[in-house]
């Protein structure tokens, strides 16, 4: 090979080495930067950006070796390293050299030396590259890198590069108050916690307590640490409140939990004996008092209360006493009994004894709740009242007889209804129609009373066509009265006082009509359906007895004022007043409608926020609209997790609960907005 | 005389010429095909958007055919109309039903939304808003739905077709003025309207020269009041002012002896006749509006519209007077409906009074709200006809391009000519 | 047909009719000072009866313990919800007495806790002006009852509207006389009754 050829061969090698070096160095730098980025858990974008420094360095290195493109410069480069050549090589490469110059240029084997040297320059960069590759393979992933973990801990990120959300899953423990005797219970991820007032509610979740902020109706509540969980403890308040939990992590969220207090109902007390008010001629002996008590949680104690009133007109004296106090130790039910000695009360004519049972529950948080029974009164009749009061053991008068008959019919019908399942249809029909016949007879007797009182004739015998079919209205009754020549007074109106004729007969008319309904049901063999109108008839007859007592036997004469004479006769004049108070619309309903509109607007953008809005509405609704509150709770839960169809259905239910169902009309109204 | 060889050479030349001609034809055809020609785009309603984009962005679109098997949005219709004006042949086919919807608010503070739907044949229409389904109605051919409120636009859907309507936003109501003597009727009318969200003011005479009233009641004009209610003749001194108020656009409700006030006779729709007592209630009965005492309205004017009738006669009538509206109410002691109407009586009484006040109250929707309502699509089929005309007959749509066998024929002929010419020369011994 | 009918409540447990002349006296006063169309006689309405709802203002008094039945309680609740006003007066004027204790307990069960009506309330200014609140009666310091001047009335509201007025001032005694006897009085002591009625009819 000529000298020129050797230089050209060396040039090619030189260029290759330059390129390779640039590659090795650039790649090594890029990989090193990538390894560091992984250690620091930078984002892929940041890593790629950092890795481009390797490219820039590679370009720089490459630029430095660009001079190798010129063969003369390569020859000069060799001359520098081999002074013995004395520029014979340069001469040989520039032009066809004389043989002696050629020989001089080839005298020393510089090409081997340089070739080996060039190859050696690749060793270091190559080794570095290999080392960096091994380093990258061995660098721990971001999930396990302790550096990454520490960095994440500062930035609030969790394992796997995923943000750890302490509110992702919450757990609630409810400890009811001790007096209730209820067991502790747990809830997972609730939107609402229902518990007795005074219950201890503990909300917890995984993660650091430092990352959780809690507020209860704008008051801060500290979060405590327990193992690797956080916990917030509150006491169930007496009114609904919102517990807000907020995560302080990057992009942390908020969760709302509604605290819905359950109220401890007061005891339900029923006075079983005496069964009704009583009037006696003389009070002696003992009166049995019996009451049944029930409570939703537990009873504490109960007793009977007695008040004895003596006197008349403006002068009265009163005595009160407590009987048969008894404790129940938290039992949910019980009975209370006592015997009241009437002799010991030394009752005189005109005295009134009022009795009732009172019970208290074991609520030591907000109570105790107090429940009381109906009051029964025992009167000792005055001498002058005997003819106007239904005294015990007197023979029943006409309405009284009807009461007894109707009571008997009700008893028979109830018995028949109870035996219905064990009877065949024909037998049931026969028995039912027998009672229907009795009811019809009683109805005729009631009708007799009514129409005789209004001046008409009795209705006639059984089966007579004179017994009116169906029901009668008061207007028809008055027509009959007028038709019978009995002046019923001025045309009756819904206003004003009732005349005795209507006041007296309206209840019996109601009984008359109710008996018609009962009779029809009995004729069809439906004793259960006959019972409600039969009971209405009985109640109406009772009212008729009462009206009779007031209007026929001693109602105080009313003073009739001569209004025309008195009109504007007063000396004093009033003065005009400026009205400042006016009734306003139910603000709660309006606020709810506006809140719902805002929540609806959120629904398309942010379902969690819309669900939270519903929970806020629920808190406000718990006090006065429990049904609405329940619908809101369901809708909030579905909104967080449900499908689009479920969410739409839940929100439609909320809309209906808020304002009622829409009113449908199957035709268009004739006039815009016509009612 | 040409020899056989001459003939043969002539045939070869002819075949060569034919080959060149065939190649020229093929070349000309290929050059012509690369030049763009009009294309036909067909689409259904569901993929119309892509077709519109294609028809708009390519300059070769000559024809766009749409199979309307579902609702087209307003924007899509406008787009089609614009393409037509730009020279694209736009045609459509299909049988979209006649469906129309409207949504209006009552003129009350708690303004319910009345949604009306109309269709060409009896069908079930599902009404919804942006929250979800409100309800469904059976329109035969029309139906109405009163909803407490709607969010966003109202959509009435029948199958794949829908009409949309916007309910105007609630407008601020002005005050209601009640004029009547101190009594239960005045008191409970004030209560009912106040509870229904109206801001009520009243003047209730108690004695000569003595009244309980709100401050600064006068003047009575439409800037301050929406409605004036005159319950009896104690409003006679303000009769002219009330009549003027109605003429300016205000609303009036006139009852009882107020119907005899001279200044109001010119505006009221009818007079009141003798009072008829209401129904006598039995135990357990509840009072309804039909059971109230009533002074049946008589002498109704020709332009009066009867709104309610009871067995004893006309109970509510209304007419326009000047720029306002006047309602005459024959019911007496409506407060009994509230007190004796059972569980729902108070709410029903309140709703009725608010509704009657809303009937006569002036419309006060802001212009911006009206403009927003113009974005709705209440009668889509009519709008489609207006934009694109009637549908095209089905047969002309989507022509299939004729199969093109000419290139193949040219190729076969060219090959045959080439083969024949070459074979002839070979057999002749020529190269 | 009258705009206003004075109604007295009849209840099961006590002497509801302890002031039989009061209605006529109040009716007379309404006629004397106002143009309100008032019925010439009062009515008696059972608390448990549907008829209660025909009279949006009802007066209740007595000396004896008050214990409402379940039906009376339920009716009163509905009465208040629909806009009725109950005026209760302790005929004993004794805040230690059984009427006051039992009546306030029963009323609290229906209406919720009773609160004082401030003496600046429109009730005291709606027709006649009573600068110091409810006028004192001649019976408050007559040696009977608790012998106290009760400075305020109590009451309860339903949705911002007064639905109960409770008095320990014994207006039942003060107004329980025949209206013809007014001519013997230099000062008409029934004027506050006019305020009660005017307030009920205009608020």
Residue B255: CA atoms inside 13 Å, Cβ hemisphere, count? 27
Across the B:C interface, residue pairs with CB atoms under 8 Å apart total 79
- Cβ partners under 8 Å of residue A558, min gap 6: C23, C24, C41, C42
Q: Are A527 and A427 in contact (CB under 8 A)?
A: no
CA-based nearest residue in chain A for residue C64 = A309
Specify the pLDDT at position A554.
Answer: 42
Q: Does A275 touch chain C (CB under 8 A)?
A: no
- Cβ partners under 8 Å of residue A616, min gap 6: A242, A256, A595
For residue B386, tell me if it sits in a domain: no
Task: Give the tens place of pLDDT for each residue, B118-135.
Answer: 888 888 899 988 888 888
The fold for domain A164-262 equals Immunoglobulin-like (2.60.40)
Low-confidence ranges of chain A (pLDDT < 50): 142-144, 156-163, 388-398, 461-465, 488-497, 550-554, 673-675
What is the 3-state composition of chain B as percent helix, strand, coil, each rounded to the nearest 5?
Answer: 35, 25, 35
Start-end of H helices in C18-97: 22-33, 70-82
Give the integer Cα–Cα distance in Å for B234 and B213. 13
Among candidate residues C11, C28, C19, the one with its CA nearest the CA of residue C65: C11
Q: Give A 287-346 residues with CB within 8 A of chain C.
A: 307, 309, 311, 313-314, 316, 318, 320
Average pLDDT over residues C85-91: 95
Helix, coil or strand: residue A576 = coil
Q: Closest CB to B338: pick one of C83, C200, C203.
A: C83
What is the 3-state composition of chain C as percent helix, strand, coil, each rounded to the nearest 5?
Answer: 35, 20, 45
Give the integer Cα–Cα distance in Å for A323 and A339. 9
* ipTM score assigned to the predicted complex: 0.94
Place of tokens 């109106």: A493
CA-based nearest residue in chain A for residue C190 = A570
Among candidate residues B282, B283, B276, the one with its CA nearest the CA of residue B297: B276
Residue A198: CA atoms inside 13 Å, Cβ hemisphere, count? 14
Through-space distance between the first and last CA atoms of chain C, rounded to whole angstroms: 22
Q: Are residues B417 and B283 in the same domain?
A: no
What is the 3-state composition of chain A as percent helix, strand, coil, each rounded to the nearest 5?
Answer: 50, 20, 30
- Testing the interface with C: which of A491, A547, A561 to mutate, by most C Cβ within 10 A? A561
Low-confidence ranges of chain B (pLDDT < 50): 395-403
Among candidate residues C115, C194, C125, C129, the one with its CA nearest the CA of residue C162: C115
Start-end of H helices in A553-625: 563-566, 587-603, 607-622
Q: Are A497 and A555 in contact (CB under 8 A)?
A: no
Helix, coil or strand: residue A545 = helix
Over A441-481, what HEC string results?
HHHHHHHHHHHHHCCCCCCCCCCCCCCCCCCCCHHHHHHHH
Give the integer Cα–Cα distance in Å for B34 and A514. 96
Q: Are residues B186 and B248 in the same domain?
A: yes
**DSSP state string for B258-293:** GGG-HHHHTT-S-EE---B--PPPPTT----GGGS-
Give the integer Cα–Cα distance in Å for A323 and A343. 15
State whether A558 and C194 contact (CB < 8 Å).
no
Q: Which range of residues forms the domain containing residue B255?
A: 175-362
**Total number of domains constituting chain B:** 3
Q: Does B352 touch chain A (CB under 8 A)?
A: yes
- Which residues does chain A have within 8 Å of residue B202's beta carbon, measured at their own beta carbons? 579
Q: B250-280: string of b/e by CB count within 10 Å (b at 16+)?
A: bbbbbbbbbbebebbeebbbbbbbebbbbbb
Q: C149-184: string of b/e by CB count within 10 Å (b at 16+)?
A: ebebbbbbebbebbbbbbbbbbbbbbbbbebeebee
- Which residues does chain C have within 8 Å of residue B195's beta carbon, measured at their own beta carbons? 159
- Which residues does chain B have within 8 Å of residue A506's beta carbon, measured at their own beta carbons? 280, 282-283
CA-based nearest residue in chain A for residue C127 = A574
Q: Does B173 touch chain A (CB under 8 A)?
A: no
CATH of domain A268-383: 2.60.40.10
Q: Are A295 and A332 in contact (CB under 8 A)?
A: yes
Q: C103-134: string of b/e by CB count within 10 Å (b at 16+)?
A: bbebbeebbeebeebeeebbbbbbbbebeebb
Specify the pLDDT at position B402.
Answer: 45
Among candidate residues B357, B421, B327, the one with its CA nearest the CA of residue B111: B357
Environment class of residue A13 by beta-carbon count within 10 Å: exposed (0-12), middle (13-18) or buried (19+)? middle
Distances (CA, A) of B121 to B141, B142, C109: 6, 9, 58
Asked whether the CA dihedral B366, B367, B371, B374 is positive or negative, the reply is: positive
Specify the pLDDT at position A497.
Answer: 43
Give the integer Cα–Cα distance in Å for A651 and A649. 5
Give the integer Cα–Cα distance in Å for B319 and B304. 5
CB atoms within 10 A of CB A421: 7
**Greatest CA span in chain C, whole angstroms?**
45
- Which residues does chain C have within 8 Å of residue A313's beta carbon, measured at their own beta carbons? 18
Q: Are residues B185 and B109 in the same domain?
A: no
| Helix or strand (DSSP H, E) at C197 | helix C191-202
- Any idea what the Cα angle at residue B60 is, between residues B55 and B64, rounded to 5°? 40
Task: Give the tens place of pLDDT for each residue, B159-177.
Answer: 888 898 887 777 788 999 9
Backbone angles phi, psi at B62, to 5 degrees: -105, -25
C185 min Cα distance to partner chain A (Å): 12
Among candidate residues B96, B88, B146, B93, the one with its CA nearest the CA of residue B117: B146
CB atoms within 10 A of CB A117: 11
- Cβ partners under 8 Å of residue A647, min gap 6: A603, A607, A635, A638, A639, B132
Q: Are residues B39 and B14 in the same domain?
A: yes
Look up residue A280 and give its two tokens. Answer: 């006696």
Give the integer Cα–Cα distance in Å for B346 and B348. 5
**DSSP state string for A179-242:** GGTPPPEEEES-SEEEEETT-EEEEEEES-GGGEEEEETTEEE--EEETTEEEEEEE--SS-EE
CA-based nearest residue in chain A for residue B209 = A576
Q: A613-652: string of b/e by CB count within 10 Å (b at 16+)?
A: bbbbbbbbbbeebeebbbbbbbbbbbbbebeeeebbebbb
Residue B339 belongs to domain with CATH number: 3.40.50.880
Query: How, if at all, do strands B161-165 and A352-361 pair?
Result: unpaired
Q: Are residues B214 and B331 in the same domain?
A: yes
Helix, coil or strand: residue A630 = helix
Specify the pLDDT at position A395.
Answer: 36
Across the A:B interface, residue pairs with CB atoms under 8 Å apart total 177
Place of tokens 């909104």: A639
Place of tokens 């924007």: B75
Give the integer Cα–Cα distance in Å for A465 and B116. 54
Through-space distance between the first and last CA atoms of chain B, rounded to whole angstroms: 25
The residue extents of the domains of chain A are 3-142, 164-262, 268-383, 402-554, 587-659
Task: Band the pLDDT of C190: cuts 50, 70, 90.
Answer: very high
The residue extents of the domains of chain C are 7-202
Task: Give the tens place of pLDDT for each residue, A291-320.
Answer: 999 999 999 999 999 999 988 777 788 888
Beta bridge partners of B18: none
Do the domains A164-262 and A268-383 sit in the same CATH topology, yes or no? yes
State whether C36 and B195 contact (CB < 8 Å).
no
Q: What is the pTM of this model?
A: 0.73
Q: Are A478 and A492 in contact (CB under 8 A)?
A: yes
Q: Are residues B260 and B354 in the same domain?
A: yes
- Any idea what the Cα angle at residue B314 is, between residues B311 and B319, rounded to 5°? 160
Distances (CA, A) of B120 to A278, B90, B93: 72, 26, 18
Query: What length does chain B have?
Result: 431
**Greatest CA span in chain B, whole angstroms?**
146
> DSSP strand E in chain C: where?
7-10, 43-46, 57-62, 85-90, 115-117, 153-158, 161-167
The CATH homologous superfamily for domain C7-202 is Domain of unknown function DUF4159 (3.40.50.12140)
Torsion-angle region of residue A489: left (phi > 0), alpha (psi -120 to 50) or beta?
left
Q: Are residues B245 and B338 in the same domain?
A: yes
């Amino acid at each position: 090979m000529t000298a020129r050829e050797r230089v050209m061969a060396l040039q090619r090698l030189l260029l290759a080495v330059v390129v390779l070096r640039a590659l090795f160095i650039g790649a090594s730098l890029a990989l090193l930067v990538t390894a560091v980025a992984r250690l620091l858990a930078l984002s892929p974008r940041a890593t790629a950006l950092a890795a481009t420094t390797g490219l820039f360095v590679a370009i720089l290195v490459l630029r430095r070796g660009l001079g190798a493109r010129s063969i003369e410069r390569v020859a000069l480069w060799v001359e520098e390293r081999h002074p013995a050549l004395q520029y014979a090589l340069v001469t040989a490469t520039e032009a066809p050299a004389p043989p002696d110059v050629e020989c001089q240029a080839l005298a020393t084997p510089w090409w081997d030396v340089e070739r080996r040297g060039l190859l050696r320059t690749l060793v270091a960069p190559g080794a570095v590259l290999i080392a960096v590759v091994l380093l990258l393979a061995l660098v721990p992933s971001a999930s396990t890198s302790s550096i990454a973990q520490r960095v994440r801990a500062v930035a609030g990120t969790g394992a796997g590069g995923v943000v750890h959300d302490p509110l992702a899953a919450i757990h609630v423990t409810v400890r009811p108050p001790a007096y209730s005797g209820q067991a502790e219970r747990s809830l997972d991820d609730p939107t609402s916690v229902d518990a007795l007032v005074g219950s201890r509610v503990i909300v917890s979740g995984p993660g650091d307590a430092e990352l959780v902020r809690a507020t209860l109706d704008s008051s801060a509540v500290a979060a405590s640490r327990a193992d690797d969980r956080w916990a917030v403890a509150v006491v169930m308040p007496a009114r609904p409140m919102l517990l807000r939990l907020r995560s302080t992590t990057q992009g942390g969220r908020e969760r709302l939990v509604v605290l819905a207090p359950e109220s401890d109902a007061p005891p339900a007390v029923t006075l079983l004996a005496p069964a009704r008010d009583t009037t006696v001629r003389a009070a002696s002996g003992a009166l049995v008092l019996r009451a049944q008590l029930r409570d939703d949680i537990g009873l504490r104690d109960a007793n009977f209360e007695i008040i004895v009133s003596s006197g008349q007109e403006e002068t009265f004296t009163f005595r009160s006493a407590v009987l048969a106090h008894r404790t129940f130790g938290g039992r949910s039910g019980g009975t209370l009994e006592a015997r009241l000695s009437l002799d010991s009360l030394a009752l005189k004519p005109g005295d009134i004894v009022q009795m009732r049972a009172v019970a208290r529950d074991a609520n030591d948080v907000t109570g105790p709740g107090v429940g009381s029974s109906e009051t029964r009164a025992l009167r000792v009749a005055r001498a002058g009242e005997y003819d106007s009061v239904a005294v015990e053991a007197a023979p029943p008068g006409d309405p009284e007889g009807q009461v007894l008959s109707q009571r008997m019919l009700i008893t028979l019908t109830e018995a028949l209804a109870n035996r219905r399942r064990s009877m065949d249809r024909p037998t049931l029909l026969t028995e039912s129609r027998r009672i229907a016949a009795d009811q019809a007879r009683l109805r005729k007797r009631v009708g007799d009373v009514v129409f005789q009182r209004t001046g008409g004739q009795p209705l006639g015998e059984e089966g007579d066509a004179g017994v009116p079919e169906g029901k009668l209205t008061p207007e028809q009754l008055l027509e009959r009265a007028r038709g019978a020549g009995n002046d019923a007074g001025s045309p009756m109106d819904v206003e004003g006082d009732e005349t005795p004729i209507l006041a007296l007969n309206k209840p019996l008319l109601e009984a008359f009509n109710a008996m018609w309904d009962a009779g029809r049901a009995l004729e069809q063999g439906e004793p259960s359906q006959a019972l409600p109108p039969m009971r209405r008839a009985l109640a109406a007859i009772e009212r008729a007895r009462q009206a009779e007592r007031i209007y026929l036997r001693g109602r105080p004469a009313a003073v009739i004022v001569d209004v025309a004479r008195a009109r504007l006769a007063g000396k004093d004049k009033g003065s005009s007043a400026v009205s400042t108070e006016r009734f306003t619309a139910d603000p709660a309903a309006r606020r709810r409608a506006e809140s719902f509109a805002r929540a609806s607007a959120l629904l398309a953008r942010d379902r969690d926020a819309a669900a939270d809005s519903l929970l806020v509405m629920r808190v406000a609704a718990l006090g006065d609209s429990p049904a609405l509150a329940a619908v809101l709770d369901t809708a909030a839960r579905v909104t967080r997790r449900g499908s689009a169809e479920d969410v739409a259905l839940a929100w439609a239910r909320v809309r209906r609960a808020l304002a009622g169902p829409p009113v449908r009309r199957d035709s268009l109204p004739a006039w815009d907005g016509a009612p | 005389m040409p020899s056989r060889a001459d003939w043969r050479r002539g045939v070869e030349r002819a075949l060569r010429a034919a080959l060149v001609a065939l190649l020229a034809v093929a070349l000309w055809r290929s050059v012509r095909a690369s030049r763009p020609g009009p294309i036909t785009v067909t689409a259904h309603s569901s993929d119309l958007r892509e077709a519109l984009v294609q028809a708009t962005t390519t300059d070769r679109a000559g024809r766009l055919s749409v199979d309307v098997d579902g609702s087209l949005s307003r924007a899509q219709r406008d787009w089609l109309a614009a393409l037509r004006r730009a020279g694209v042949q736009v045609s459509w086919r299909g049988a979209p039903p006649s469906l129309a919807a409207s949504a209006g608010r009552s003129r009350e503070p708690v303004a319910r939304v009345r949604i009306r739907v109309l269709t060409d044949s009896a069908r079930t229409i599902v009404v919804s808003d942006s929250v979800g389904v409100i309800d469904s109605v059976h329109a035969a051919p029309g139906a109405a739905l009163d909803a407490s409120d709607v969010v966003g636009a109202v959509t009435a859907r029948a199958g794949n077709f829908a009409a949309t309507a916007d309910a105007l936003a609630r407008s601020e109501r002005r005050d209601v003025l009640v004029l009547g003597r101190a009594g239960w009727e005045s008191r409970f009318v004030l209560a009912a309207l106040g509870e229904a969200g109206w801001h009520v003011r009243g003047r209730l005479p108690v004695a000569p020269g003595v009244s309980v009233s709100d401050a600064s009641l006068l003047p009575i004009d439409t800037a301050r009041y929406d409605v004036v209610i005159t319950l009896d003749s104690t409003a006679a001194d303000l009769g002219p002012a009330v009549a003027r108020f109605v003429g300016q656009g205000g609303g009036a409700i006139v009852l009882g002896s107020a119907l005899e006030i001279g200044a109001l006779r010119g505006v009221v729709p009818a007079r009141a006749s003798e009072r008829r007592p209401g129904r006598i209630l039995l135990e357990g009965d509840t009072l309804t509006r039909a059971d109230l005492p009533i002074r049946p309205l008589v002498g109704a004017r020709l332009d009066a519209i009867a709104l309610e009738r009871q067995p004893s006669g006309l109970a509510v009538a209304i007419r326009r007077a000047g720029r306002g509206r006047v309602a005459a109410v024959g019911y007496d002691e409506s407060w009994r409906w509230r007190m004796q109407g059972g569980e729902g009586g108070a709410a029903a009484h309140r709703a009725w009074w608010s509704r009657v006040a809303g009937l006569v109250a002036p419309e006060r929707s802001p212009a911006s709200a009206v403009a927003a309502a113009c974005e709705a699509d209440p009668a889509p089929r009519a709008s489609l006809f207006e934009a694109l005309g009637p549908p095209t007959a089905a047969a002309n749509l989507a022509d299939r391009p004729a199969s093109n066998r000419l290139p193949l024929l040219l190729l076969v002929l060219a090959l045959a000519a080439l083969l024949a010419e070459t074979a002839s020369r070979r057999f002749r011994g020529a190269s | 047909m009258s705009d206003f009918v004075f109604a007295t409540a009849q209840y099961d447990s006590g002497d509801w009719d302890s002031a039989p002349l009061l209605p006529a006296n109040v009716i007379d006063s309404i006629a004397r000072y106002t143009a309100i169309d008032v019925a010439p006689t009062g009515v008696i309405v059972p608390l448990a009866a549907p008829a209660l709802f025909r009279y949006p203002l009802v007066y209740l008094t007595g000396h004896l313990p008050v214990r409402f039945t379940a039906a009376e309680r339920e009716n009163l609740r509905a009465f208040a919800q629909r806009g009725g006003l109950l005026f209760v007066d302790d005929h004993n004027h004794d805040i230690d007495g059984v009427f006051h204790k039992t009546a306030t307990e029963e009323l609290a069960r229906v209406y919720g806790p009773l609160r004082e009506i401030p003496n600046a309330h429109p009730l005291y200014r709606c027709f006649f002006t009573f600068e110091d609140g409810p006028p004192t009666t001649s019976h408050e310091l007559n040696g009977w009852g608790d012998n106290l001047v009760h400075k305020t009335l109590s009451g309860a509201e339903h949705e911002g509207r007064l639905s109960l007025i409770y008095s320990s001032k014994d207006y039942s005694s003060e107004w329980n006389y025949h209206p013809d006897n007014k001519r013997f009085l230099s000062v008409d002591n029934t004027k506050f009754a006019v305020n009660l009625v005017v307030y009920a009819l205009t608020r």
